Amino acid sequence: MDSQRCRRVVLVSCPFQGHINPMLQLGTILSSKGFSITIVHTQLNSPKPSKHPEFDFQPIPEGLSKQEIACGNLVDIILALNERCRIPFQKRLIQMMLQQESHDEITCIIYDDLMYFSEEVANRLNIPSIVLRTSSVASLLSRLAILQLKDEGYIPFPDAMSQDQVPDFRTLRFKDLPICEFGTPKNFYQLLAHVCDIKTSSAVIWNTMDCLEESLLAEQQLKQFPIPIFTIGPMHKFAPACSSSLLKEDSSCIEWLDKQDPNSVLYISLGSMASTDEKELAEMAWGLANSKQPFLWVIRPGSTLGSEWIESLPEGFMETVRERGCIVKWAPQRDVLAHPSVGGFWTHCGWNSTLETISEGVPMICRPCFADQMVNARFVSHVWRIGLQLENQLERNEIERAVRRLMVDEEGEEMRKRAEDLKEKVEACFKKGGSSYNSLSKLVEFMSSQ
């Protein structure tokens, strides 16, 4: 590493909470290793520069209208981002290159795998690029499996096959495959092919750990053209102070948690995008109330269809649960999961939430909603066996049973023990000498030699 040169790295983030978090964590990690960081981001869901004075932020217009965003068709939104950001990104990079001093050259572009237009621009301008994968190796393999099954004519599959194992990926059933229901199949497969193919990029940074996915990584290396892969997860543990919430965190829930017994509270959050309808909300509410367990529930404004916030909670619910329940709009999730009172997490199994939960040794109730969440839920419940999955329509008796299985029964205690064991393995990965720690050192060397 040339200490005279300030190596600038341009990070291209994708405008969703579950993608902004790992990208800004990566920025924080690389900044601590001496790189100068520029974050290129869209105007949509712009991160807050004031929270990261160490970064240079460069917004680019993505040109999405309010209607396009409101339609909620994620596939079309991501395809549009890739179409519309390419030229503004290229212009911005050229501007930066014209202004750059010799000691501040852009040495590398790191982009979120959903923002694949970045690779094309980097290649055109002769700048090395690296892709950041913010979901699991299993989820990439499941995407490759979908593309193959489609070529072989297995997709779309009939309902009768939904419980069958996927031939090349037996951990998953057909119903666990992240086949998207948004938009047209043609657009979905187009997006999938782009995201799986890293084209001219020279390496992959993966927010995962060898102790979780080593054998899957070996399989991935066999299936795709092998290039260096740096598994440096869980990245939030390398950047504990990095905070990038788009919504305001309500820390009052920590005071509420302080008053609860150890391991007694069920934390519930379905992440930044998933939503429920009023009926599901009512079933969840009564299931929680009838379980008699204390709970901390994140209900995002607008996350119940047709409701601003919690006005569609069923009548009598608040009076029934009283102080046993705490409801917030957005929580400081990593602090919540690390709190000794939290004994379980009802999660949608987004990859960040899954990593954050595993890192704290908390067992889970999995209720995946879409995309890679189904794959993560399968691994949590059937491979690592640190959670149980709620599979059928949400129904209060089933919810009550699931909560008690996790929080009260012997079965939940065993899951908690396995979760604690896994937490120790994860700690060994990111502590000095561990696989993620070493991988990060190799990444820094690799980037310095670009």
Strand order in the sheet with 387-389: 325-328, 295-298, 265-269, 342-347, 364-366, 387-389
Q: Is the peptide bond before 156 cis (omega within 30 degrees of 0)?
A: yes
Q: Is the peptide bond before 234 cis (omega within 30 degrees of 0)?
A: yes
* Pattern 346-365, ligand UDP, x by CB under 6 A: ----xxxx--x---------
Nearer to ligand UDP, 155 or 179 (CB): 179
CB of 100 to ligand UDP, least distance (A): 33
Nearer to ligand UDP, 111 or 154 (CB): 111
Nearer to ligand UDP, 121 or 132 (CB): 132
Nearer to ligand UDP, 73 or 129 (CB): 73
Q: What are 64's two structure tokens?
A: 């999405």
CB of 358 to ligand UDP, least distance (A): 12
Number of residues that bind ligand UDP (CB under 6 A): 19
Nearer to ligand UDP, 96 or 137 (CB): 137
Per CB under 6 A, does 331 bind ligand UDP? yes
CB of 347 to ligand UDP, least distance (A): 7
Q: Which stretch binds ligand UDP (CB under 6 A): 11-19, 92-100, 165-173, 184-192?
A: 11-19
Nearer to ligand UDP, 157 or 256 (CB): 256
Q: In this structure, are strands 325-328 and 295-298 parallel, antiparallel, or unpaired?
A: parallel
Near ligand UDP by CB under 6 A: residue from 24, 81, 141, 298? 298
CB of 202 to ligand UDP, least distance (A): 26
**What does the radius of gyration of the chain's CA atoms come to, in whole angstroms?**
22
Nearer to ligand UDP, 169 or 267 (CB): 267
Angle at the Cα of 256 (from 254 to 258), degrees rounded to 5?
70
Per CB under 6 A, does 372 bind ligand UDP? no
Q: Which stretch binds ligand UDP (CB under 6 A): 120-128, 142-150, 267-275, 393-401?
A: 267-275
Per CB under 6 A, does 17 bind ligand UDP? yes
Near ligand UDP by CB under 6 A: residue from 269, 293, 341, 359? 269
Nearer to ligand UDP, 352 or 436 (CB): 352
Contact in structure between 348 and 416 (CB atoms under 8 Å) = no
CB of 349 to ligand UDP, least distance (A): 8
CB of 156 to ligand UDP, least distance (A): 25
* Pattern 204-223, ligand UDP, x by CB under 6 A: --------------------
Per CB under 6 A, does 312 bind ligand UDP? no
Near ligand UDP by CB under 6 A: residue from 15, 271, 343, 434? 271
CB of 256 to ligand UDP, least distance (A): 14
Binding site for ligand UDP (CB under 6 A): 16-18, 21, 245, 269, 271-273, 298, 330-331, 333-334, 350-353, 356
